[in-house]
Amino acid sequence: MMQSQIRPRRLRGSDTLRKMVRETRMSPESLILPVFIKEGENIKTEIPSLPNQFHYSPDRVSEAAEMALSHGVGKLLLFGIPQHKDACGSEAYNEHAALQEGIRILKERYPELYIITDVCMCEYTSHGHCGILTGNEVDNDKTLPYLAKIALSHVQAGADMVAPSDMMDGRIDAIRTVLDENGYLNTPIMSYSAKYASAFYGPFRDAAGSAPSFGNRKGYQMDPHNAREALKESLLDAEEGADILMVKPALAYLDIIRTVKDNTDLPLAAYSVSGEYAMTKAAAAAGLIDEYGVMCETAVSIFRAGADILISYYAPELADAIRKGDIG
Ligand code: PBG
């Protein structure tokens, strides 16, 4: 005979009870969908490494916005994919490049849509690294003015927020300074503050054509062994003026999300990256897992770890799941 008066199961007896005592609450308002804008015309092509994700040319990117908005996802994180690459990634700050054109089109058609842009150079450089090279090294300080110029061009095209993902030291300060000098005092920066050198970016690099042509990104992205360093990076970015911090990837770094959340006072985003999405898709296609269940449970775990915002290729499906009450 069980003696205890305390029976945790009492609160699990019905859906009503379980939903009442949920510790983790989620909202479609917290979701951001990544979208790829590719130079060209009349393009909507499925990305082989990312099932159900597409490359859109600027003239068709409205279809992505339409789809997201129809699920109640009002925030996009935009990536640009140029045709022309060079050593200094000059297409990245060309005001007529695909990304900048796409931003203008989206802003005009959907003023209510919130547009965030990824600020980086790896999609734009011929060598595929996230900055300017000196010899075979990414030159941190030479890269900073380029990042600032790129961020400014996104904001001038109409971006509501910029999200630098390059992991150069001092880039938040460099971008903040240039935005402020140009009158964009109120444009927030979401910093990829704790971004790890991760194999989970593989499908994205196929999608964006941004794999480094030599070496790797371990000289600037973080070592997966380090947790305290994630806090150091995040506090530095906060000091430089970041408005939102980010941990990336998400699923293999839930402890980092918790650490950053508990030790900083800025809103925290987590990026559930391409490899997390592609693995779920592949396992589901192989009949090994229930895709919907795994998608939901993964998202819950990221919010439970402390994220306030989730960037996910599943954002539309997650918004539906939250609205149905399956999660959140
Ligand atoms: C650009 C960038 C990357 C991702 C977001 N911004 C790739 C990288 O750092 O190699 C990855 C996103 C994903 O995997 O979904 N630097």
What is the enclosing helix (H) or strand (E) of 75?
Answer: strand 75-81
d(C-alpha 6, C-alpha 136), whole Å: 63
Mean pLDDT of each 10-residue bin along the chain, 328 residues long: 89 96 97 98 98 98 98 98 96 98 98 97 96 96 98 98 98 98 98 98 94 95 98 98 98 98 98 98 98 98 98 98 96
- Residue 8 bridge partners (DSSP): none
- Residue 81 bridge partners (DSSP): 38
pLDDT value of residue 2: 77
CA trace torsion 14, 15, 21, 24 (10° rounding) = 150
Of 239, 241, 201, whose CA–CA distance to 221 is shortest?
Answer: 201
* Cβ proximity of 132 and 90 under 8 Å: no
> Which atom of ligand 1 approaches the CA of 277 most closely?
15
With tokens 């996009």, the residue in question is 76
Dihedral sign computed on CA atoms, order 288, 195, 138, 208: positive
Of 293, 278, 267, 290, whose CA–CA distance to 75 is shortest?
Answer: 267
Token reading at 166: 């390059």
116 lines ligand 1 (CB under 6 A): no
* Cβ proximity of 315 and 68 under 8 Å: yes
Question: Per CATH, which fold does 17-324 belong to?
Answer: TIM Barrel (3.20.20)
pLDDT value of residue 18: 97
Coil, helix or strand for 248?
strand
What is residue 112's DSSP assignment? Answer: T
**What values do phi and psi take at 206, rounded to 5?**
-65, -45
> 124, 210, 247, 310: which to mutate for ligand 1, most atoms within 8 A of CB?
210
> Which atom of ligand 1 approaches the CA of 272 most closely?
15
205 lines ligand 1 (CB under 6 A): yes
> 129, 204, 221: which to mutate for ligand 1, most atoms within 8 A of CB?
204
Question: How far out from the chain centre does Cα 295 lie?
Answer: 17
Catalytic entry in 38, 75, 85, 195: 195
Enumerate the domain spans of the chain.
17-324
Of 233, 100, 109, 93, whose CA–CA distance to 172 is shortest?
Answer: 233
pLDDT value of residue 1: 72
